[in-house]
């Protein structure tokens, strides 16, 4: 008997910072991971939504863009994974400096606390959440799978899931990093919920190196 079909939508940065980075499993095979987690389903497609890191956004870690590029290229070796890229906007801005009321037991005048401004880099990821929501709603409306799996703990996607489960009558599952929860997301009526464990992440690693289209990509030595 054929298994029901599933499509997975991954908020790449949410997955990385909430689950992958704390676990140490930074060379994650997301295709193998969701084949393991969704054994009762045939995972037809996995969308991975991300954005290219810019070096000036992380001056203390200038190699971060290269490490990310290696991983995104390695994902191309997975036949059912498609990477959807948004954008990072890095702009100069000014921000209030938050000072404590006392520094070294010296009281800071209120005017200084309230009116001290400093130049900063403003870093914003643009497009990933919107793109994830658009793909999920499209597939729900076209009934492209029996189950749509949203991998994020970002409650900004709650309205998307409410439309999918309510007006479009789609079956949606939530996949959250272990130890996290979102009442807004849970209120959207998911069919079931999965919590990503450290063990599930560390068990499912890409080979090292990965060969794609005649090129070779290695797991970075440091992250």
Contacts of 39 (CB under 8 A, 6+ apart): none
b vs e for 130-162, b when ≥16 Cβ sit within 10 Å of the residue's Cβ?
ebbbebbbebbeeeebbbbbbbbbbeebbebbb
pLDDT tens-digit readout, 129-153: 899 999 999 999 999 999 999 999 9
| Predicted TM-score of the model (pTM) | 0.86
- pLDDT for the residue numbered 77: 97
CATH of domain 5-87+125-155+170-178+190-217: 3.40.50.1010
b vs e for 2-22, b when ≥16 Cβ sit within 10 Å of the residue's Cβ?
eeeebbbbbbbbbbbebbbee
Number of residues in the chain = 223
d(CA 213, CA 215): 6
Distances (CA, A) of 78 to 14, 71, 114, 210: 21, 12, 52, 10
Q: What is the mean pLDDT of each run of 10 residues along the chain (223 residues)?
A: 95 93 94 98 98 75 89 97 83 70 68 67 72 97 98 94 97 89 88 95 96 95 80
Q: Per-domain residue ranges for the chain?
A: 5-87+125-155+170-178+190-217
Ranges of H-type helices in 78-197: 110-115, 128-141, 158-165, 183-186
């Amino acid at each position: 008997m054929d298994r029901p079909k599933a499509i997975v939508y991954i908020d790449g940065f949410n997955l990385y910072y909430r689950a992958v980075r704390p676990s140490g499993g930074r060379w994650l095979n997301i295709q193998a991971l969701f084949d393991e987690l969704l054994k009762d389903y045939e995972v037809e497609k996995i969308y991975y939504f991300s954005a290219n890191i810019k070096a000036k956004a992380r001056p203390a870690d200038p190699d971060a863009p290269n490490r990310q590029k290696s991983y995104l290229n390695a994902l191309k070796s997975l036949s059912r994974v498609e990477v959807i890229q948004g954008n990072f906007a890095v702009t100069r801005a000014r921000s209030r400096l938050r000072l404590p009321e006392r520094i070294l037991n010296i009281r800071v005048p209120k005017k200084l606390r309230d009116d001290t401004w400093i130049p900063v880099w403003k870093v914003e990821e643009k497009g990933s959440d919107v793109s994830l929501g658009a793909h999920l709603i499209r597939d729900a409306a076209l009934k492209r799978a029996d189950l749509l799996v949203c991998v994020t703990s970002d409650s900004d996607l709650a309205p998307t899931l409410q439309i999918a489960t309510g007006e479009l009558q789609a079956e949606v599952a939530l996949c959250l990093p272990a130890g996290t929860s979102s009442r807004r997301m849970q209120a959207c009526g998911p069919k079931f919920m999965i919590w990503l464990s450290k063990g599930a992440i560390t068990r499912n690693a890409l080979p090292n190196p990965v060969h794609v289209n005649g090129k070779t990509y290695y797991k970075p030595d440091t992250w």
